[in-house]
Structure 1
Amino acid sequence: MDIDVGFGDLVQQAQQLTADMDSGMRLPRIERNLTQLRDAAVRMAAHVPLVSQDSANVNASVLLGSRGFDVQKVSQKLESLSSAKTFEPLEPVRDTDIYGFLKNERENALLTAIEQTRKNTLEEAEQRHWETMENEWEREKQKILNALVGSGQADFDFSVESEQSILSENINMQGRTMLDDVEMAYSRQIYMYNEQVIQGGMKPSLVNLCAEMASTLDDQNVSDLWSVVQHMTDVPVSTSDNIVKTRSSRTMKTAFVSQALKYLEKSYVKYITTMVYSNLQKAQLGGIPGTYNLVRSFLNVHLQQSTPGLEDGTVENHPVWAMIYYCLRCGDLSAARQVMTPVQQHLEEFPRFFQEYMTSEDHRLSTNSEREIRLKYKSSIRNSTDPYKRACYCVIGHCDQKDDHTDVIISTDDYLWLKLHQLHVEDEDGDELTEDRLTLTQLQVMLLEEYGESHFHAYQQPYLYFRVLFLSGQFEAAIEFLSRIDRLRCHTVHVALVLYEMGLLLTPHSIQAQLLSRESSDPDPLRRLNFARLIMMYTRKFEVTDPREALQYFYFLRDLKTYQGDNLFMSCVSELVLETREFDMLLGQLNKDGSRRPGVIDKFNLDTDKIIELVARDTENKGLLEDAVRLYDLAQNTEKVLELMNKLLTQVLSQPPAPQSNKDRLKQLALAIAQRYRELGQEGSRHTTSTFHLLLDLMTFFDLYHTNKYEQACSVIQELNLLPFKVEDVEQKVNAFRSYSDEIRRSLPDILLATMTILYTQYRNTKTAGSPLVGILGKVQGGGKQTYINYLRSQAQALIKFAGMLPYRMPGDTNARLVQIEVLMN
């Protein structure tokens, strides 16, 4: 403090502090003089301990003492605790201390085993968790993928979907079926086909069966669709398993092109016939049959006489090149030759080229002739004003594939017909290509990728786009496109069935692939159709309500494998059974004599027992053990039936009996199985069978126990010879315990508690009032009431000793209750 500060200044400062304390304070003022302040300071100093190293203890005592904690005792307990880790090996001892060394080694071994077991258990639990998650995700992913209709590769035109409402479909709502009339008609054809296949012999024509059905639908588009399929599948059947090689061969491609041209030409004949007969007066058909007369009549209706630019004269008042072109368009080369005969002097070298083209086996010009006609086309014909003349040269000589001839080609079918005529199929097998030659691969890429769905307005004209792809040999892409439209999916599914049965459908190696996929090893532009996914996607609509029909479609998957290597047909049957729960109808049921009454699955002449085993295994994996028991019983797998029944009985063993309960149902099932196996002489392994019968006897014991029939329950448990009721028998029963199954071991705590409760009840009844049983046992034991009480106590002591010596860790509350009951009896 500054020495210059006087007493007056101190007084002034004190008064200022007092004024500050008075402002805003509601507490009363305490006025003390200097003497009182000194005395108060002395008293407070006497209670404050000196500052030392124990100040932390003093603070802890003040803090914890207010809550009732004794700091000194707490400190002693904390000091007595060991800081060693739980599973840390013990410190080594001296080699001379043999007892300590052995004890230390034993404890180290136990701790090491416990730690290793804990580590292995955690690793195994984590591994099983991830395996279960992966399997569950695979199943869910398969369901999601099957539920998805499109492949995600093309843009959808949602404007069309508004027209495809439920009201526009003819759905048969009678009964419980989800199949409409068309789908039901298809399913009948599939049933007829499978019946013939199962019976053996020559396979019927599935394409003809479907086409016959389509002709009854009064839908021209569907009839035309199946007409396309009939033409394109009327090719030589290959016995090779390599479908890619077969489809890429020159022979097969030539056959596809030839069949596509036949269909297009046959369809065009129908078209011009309809045009002529619709205008008979103008057509002036006459009575002479044949293509020549038909084309002449068609030109009377179709072609204007004043069309400019036509060259080289006329035949019967019609341009000669128009007559030749339309005869070629109808596929009648003889009619085209008939047109040329009277005017061949005006057609220069074309009749000679045409004669060679007509007489050749594959309707191809020789290399020299083709080179000559192509030079002729480039030099003069290309600049001709007659569009029909240019088109005829391009058809015969494969000239100028870039010219679309829009003056003549007026429809998609016409365009496709022209391009198919200009193809050089042999170039697909490696011949040297030139820029002015068109190959089948180039045509397929142009139609599918360059033009695509938007160019053809595919969703407005689905049948047309399907026909374009199918006639160009792109079966998989055509099927995948049509399958996206709900109302047309049933047609495309059966087209896929036809191709699959004929060995013409390309499928991926994995059934988890997209609906339409492509593999790197495949030549461009081949695609692969996931046939299995298409079938399962189609059947998902009605498999619950129409499982019989779904099975007919699943039968086509009998040669395919799942990603786990299982038979796909069996896997589908398993999923179908679990989904519909039609066990008896699909798989059959057991008769009283133990034989199996056949189910729907037996009609397919496959290994039915193996199928039932697979269904039972899948059911067991899903945790439906009760259903799995019935399925294993149906497959006559006695060992699995008893094994699962043991697990089920263990879960309800100690429960009190009640009508319509799980225990009552399982008990009736177990008794029925036991009686049938005893009558038929069936049994599993000795260990499993003995466990099963022991659980049945224990169930009887618990039923008597819960109904307070203690004397009978005591007799049952003694006859089972499971527990020791004499001290000298404890060691023997402990050794015998090791041979029991896990189901019996897990039930032992409940058995001990129930038995001890019975003994205590008998003890209490004897202690209070006595009972008729007391006299009986008293006579047996050679004494009276006290002798019987001592007898009950000795039994309880034997049970307590038995529980303590068991090499099995029972629940802690079980041991406590056993000891408590034994104490009450003493």
Structure 2
Amino acid sequence: MQQEWEVEKQKILNALISAGEEAFDFTQDTGEVPGQLGDTTVGTGRSNMDNMEMSYARQVFVYNDAVVQGAVKPSLADLFTQVADKVDDKNILDLWLMVQTVTDVPLVQAQSPMGARRSSQLQRAFIGKARHFLEQRYVQFITTTIYDNLQQAQLGGIPGTYDTVRSFLNIRLPAVMAGLEDGEVDGHPVWAMVYYCLRCGDLEAAAEVADNCQSLQGDFAMFLREYVRSEDRRLSPSTETKVRLHYRRAIRNSTDPFKRAVYCILACCDTSDTHSDVADKTEDYLWIKLCQVFLEDDSAGLQDKLTLPQLQSLLLEEYGETHFNAAQQPFLYFQVLFLTGQFEAAIDFLFRTDQLRAHAVHVAVVLYEMKLLLTPNTVQAQLLTKEDGDPVPMRRLNFGRLMMSYTRKFESTDPREALQYFYILRNLKTPGGENLFMACVSALVLETREFDMLLGKLERDGTRKPGAIDKFHGDTHKIIEMVAQDTESKGQSEDAVRLYELAKDHEKVLILLNKLLCQVVSQPPAPQSDRDRLKALAVGIAERYQSQGHSGAQLEASTFFLLLDLVTFFDHYHTGQLDQALDIIQRLQLVPLTQEAVEQRVAAFSSYADEVRRNLPDVLLAAMNILYSKYKAVRSAGQASPTSRGRLREDSKTESYLTYLRKQARALITFAGMIPYRMPGDTNARLVQLEVLMN
């Protein structure tokens, strides 16, 4: 009961998915043993997966199939985006388009995900992709706004960002806006035009605005051209210093919010300014900050700088979920964290919302398969952890725990789908050094009891019919053996026998069967009893071993067949077939039925396995009862026969046979007294009592 309660506690704790939850305990039972607290959960045939989860699972199957076949692996982000395309939810589609965009980066060779994530090359690529995503979103927003207000927008001219921004400003900016500087271009404030062209990601359009405005000719146009020509949207250090100096002297106190924003974007000035007059939405604020971020390699010698870790800490630790109203706007907060490279914290946040859990898991799968997900050193860690030595504010996500928490919902009804997710965990290890995929398969088999479907089935001819695990082309024999060991350790010996048989470990099959059979040998047969079930299992295995051979030890095999013979002996004994039972016991030569055989049987006693010796008291009692029953039957028949001339001859034969039975009984008594085995006191008393009744 105590062990079962520990299992129940683990299950309850694992169901409480939050940042501070307890760790999975792989040292304890993760399946259930039928007992006083409840039976093993078995699928009822009705899936616990919703349509979204099933669609994701199909894509995981497609990906795993390519991995197993050794084919070119498809992009998981593309596969999952296809799922989002079919869902009538713009937020889900935007989420996957963001993941698809940000993860479309050239991966760097590194020994660990941490090494890859800290490389300047990858960080620069992530920031560039994040900015590109926000810029494309803004282009969509501008285009939608224009087409919703075509009359006011006065769309015309050559299609392109320049004219699109000009039309958008017809709607966006009031006719008169105080404080704007340096005149207009095409009827709109010049700095507003430059800013919105930059915001749309079209640097050439911003340069075109500067070329069309006389007031912007000179140093700024030169600065902007250099910015446009740079591959990473970064001015040279000398130019950047000039622009920052000019900003501090002349631009910081400007009344034109667009002008200040443009200078801050170009030269990463004044990183504490939120530019709320211009960036009125979180995406705008985030885009400006991403434009201002310095990588550690580029920020040497700069005082006023915003590094990526500083931005990450600001958004995650200083602002946090409350500031962004994350409970009501989960997609927005996920976007804030994901676009700033805080993948683990973003996934953890989304996973804590029931309706969004499936999306969080599959985002994690994408990053894990790209070797970009930071994971803890042990799969027993909490879901989100911060380890000593990690740079601030890096977090680690327990990917194994995440996947098992997710699959727990449907593993009992959809074990095949759960198996696909577990295959992704094949490179992780349990604290005991075991393959996590194999450990999860073992737990899944014990939980669902779908032995045949998952592991395969042994046919009558000894061949194994493949199961679901065979699709993964791994060492299925090793997996089956591990499941068998786990099953045995949990006391589910009958299931362990079948599994060891499936793994062709005949030695373990015989050892376990001997332990099981010795407990039920002397019980009377009864339909659907444990004894009859074990007998059927043992007889099937015995027939197979006799016809096809086996690799078990000779002692275990001889013990097994002897126990099966004893089962047959007790079958006849309990059903009143005493002559057949006595014939079996004579042929087995386990106990003596003559005084001459006593010493020989006593000498042979020590060669029998403990499983046989344990049943000897019952065998002796049964044999003595058979002799006494035959004795009574003969006596009764002799007393009932009529008086006749041949009576003396009959009496002589009867007495001779009764003497023969007494000698057999005496041999049993002598044998019971001589063997080096402490039999129960009532057994000896009963044997003596029956022998006395026969005298």
Shared fold, TM over 0.5: yes
**Conserved 8 A contact 1:642-1:688:** yes
Question: Shift of residue 421 of structure 1?
Answer: 0.9
Cα gap change, 1:338 to 1:138, in 2 (>3 Å): farther
1:545 to 385, 393, 413: 413
| AA at the equivalent of 1:367 | P
Shift of 1:175: 7.2
Distance in structure 2 (CA, Å) of the matches to 1:277 and 1:647: 80
- Under a length normalisation based on structure 2, what TM-score does the superposition of the two structures give? 0.91
Per the alignment, residue 650 of structure 1 pairs with 518
Supply the distance in 2 between the matched residues of 1:704 and 1:208 (Cα, whole angstroms): 69
3-state secondary structure, aligned to 2:615: helix
Residue 616 of structure 2 corresponds to: 748
Q: Could you tell me whether the CA contact under 8 Å between 1:483 and 1:492 is conserved in 2?
A: yes
Q: Which residue of 2 aligns with 1:712?
A: 580
Between the aligned partners of 1:726 and 1:452, the Cα distance in structure 2 is 91
Q: Residue 771 and residue 596 in structure 1: after superposition, are their counterparts in 2 closer, same or farther (change >3 A)?
A: farther
| CA distance in 2 between partners of 1:794 and 1:765 (Å) | 17
| Distance of 2:83 and 2:533 partners within structure 1 | 50
Deviation readout 1:256-294 (Å, 9 max, x if unpaired): 111111111111111111111111111111141111111
Of 789, 792, 807, which aligns to 2:676? 807
- Answering whether residue 603 of structure 2 is matched by residue 735 of structure 1, we say yes
Is the alpha carbon distance of 1:246 and 1:138 closer, same or farther for their aligned partners in structure 2, counting shifts above 3 Å?
Answer: farther
Structure 1 range deviating more: 354-363 or 782-791:
782-791
User: Is 1:210 paired with 2:210?
Assistant: no
The answer for the alignment partner of 2:249 in structure 1 is: 379
- Partner residue of 2:462? 594
What residue is the counterpart of 1:659 in the other structure? 527
Describe the superposition over 1:209-256 as per-residue Cα deviations: whole angstroms up to 9, x where unpaired.
Answer: 111121111211011000110111111123423111111111111111
- 8 A contact 2:593–2:664 mirrored in 1: yes
Once the two structures are superposed, the pairs formed by residues 253-272 of structure 1 within 5 Å of their partners are 253-272=123-142
Q: Distance in 2 between matches of 1:461 and 1:323?
A: 31
- The amino acid across from 1:388 in the alignment is F
CA distance in 1, matches of 2:282, 2:130: 13
Cα deviation, 1:317-347, whole Å, max 9, x if unaligned, reads: 1111111111111111111111111324446
- Give 2:665's aligned amino acid: A
Separation in 2 of the partners of 1:345 and 1:705? 115
Partner of 1:292: 162
Counterpart position of 1:818: 687
Selected match of 1:789 from 621, 642, 658: 658
In structure 1, the residue matched to 2:38 is none
Note if 1:250 corresponds to 2:120.
yes
Matches within 5 A, 1:142-221: 142-152=10-20, 176-221=46-91
Larger Rg: 1
CA distance in 2, matches of 1:797, 1:434: 107
Cα gap change, 1:771 to 1:568, in 2 (>3 Å): farther
2:489 to 621, 631, 646: 621
Q: Confirm or deny: 8 A CA contact 1:333 1:358 kept in the other structure.
A: yes
The answer for the alignment partner of 1:40 in structure 2 is none
Q: CA deviation at 1:552?
A: 1.3
Q: 1:433 to 1:464 in 2, by over 3 A?
A: farther
Alignment of 1:459-470 (within 5 A): 459-470=327-338
Q: Report the Cα distance in structure 2 between the residues aligned to 1:694 and 1:617, rounded to whole angstroms.
A: 26
How far, CA to CA, are the matches of 2:595 and 2:460 in structure 1?
48
Which residue identity does 1:811 align to in structure 2? Answer: P
Give, as a single letter, the amino acid of the residue that structure 2 aligns with 1:559: N
Q: In the alignment, which residue of structure 1 is the partner of 2:343?
A: 475
Among all aligned residue pairs of Structure 1 and Structure 2, give the percentage whose two residues are the same amino acid.
61
Q: Give the drift of 1:142.
A: 4.7
What CA deviation, in whole Å up to 9, does each residue of 1:523-560 have, x standing for no partner? 11111111111111111111111111111111111111
Counterparts in 2 of 1:280-679, with a 5 A limit? Answer: 280-346=150-216, 349-427=219-297, 432=300, 434-679=302-547
Tell me if structure 2 keeps the 8 A contact 1:677–1:683.
no
TM-score, L = length of structure 1 = 0.77
Aligned length: 663
Report Cα offsets for 1:669-705 as digits up to 9, x if no partner.
2222211222222352111111111111111111111
8 A Cα contact 1:235 1:252, kept in partner: yes
Contact (CA 8 Å) 2:109, 2:116: kept in 1 or not? no
C-alpha separation between the residues in 1 aligned to 2:532 and 2:325?
Answer: 65
Q: What is the one-letter code of the residue matched to 1:825? A: M
Pairing 1:15-94 to 2, within 5 Å after superposition: none
Q: Which amino acid counterpart does residue 394 of structure 1 have in structure 2? A: C
Residue range with higher mean Cα deviation, 143-152 or 214-223: 143-152
Matched residue SS, 1:701:
helix
Distance 1:287 1:212 in 2: 36
8 A Cα contact 1:324 1:340, kept in partner: yes
1:445 deviation in Å? 0.5
Deviations 1:588-644 (A, max 9, x none): 222222111112221111112222222222222222222222222222222222222
Give ranges in structure 2 of 5+ residues lacking alignment. 22-43, 641-650
The code of the aligned residue for 1:325 comes to Y
Offset, 1:512: 1.2
Retained in 2: the 8 A contact 1:427–1:433? no
Report the Cα distance in structure 2 between the residues aligned to 1:347 and 1:390, rounded to whole angstroms: 17
Equivalent position amino acid for 1:792 in 2: L
Deviation, structure 1 residue 140: 5.0
Tell which has more relative contact order, 1 or 2 (C-alpha 8 A, sep 6+): 2
Instruction: Tell me how far apart the structure 1 counterparts of residues 316 and 498 of structure 2 sit (CA, whole Å).
Output: 53
Aligned CA distance change for structure 1 residues 239 and 678 (closer, same or farther; 3 Å): farther
Q: Which amino acid aligns with 2:692?
A: V
Q: Which runs of 5+ in 1 are unaligned?
A: 1-131, 154-173, 773-781
Q: How far is the alpha carbon of 1:798 from its aligned partner? A: 2.4
Contact 1:142–1:512 (8 Å) recurs in 2 = no
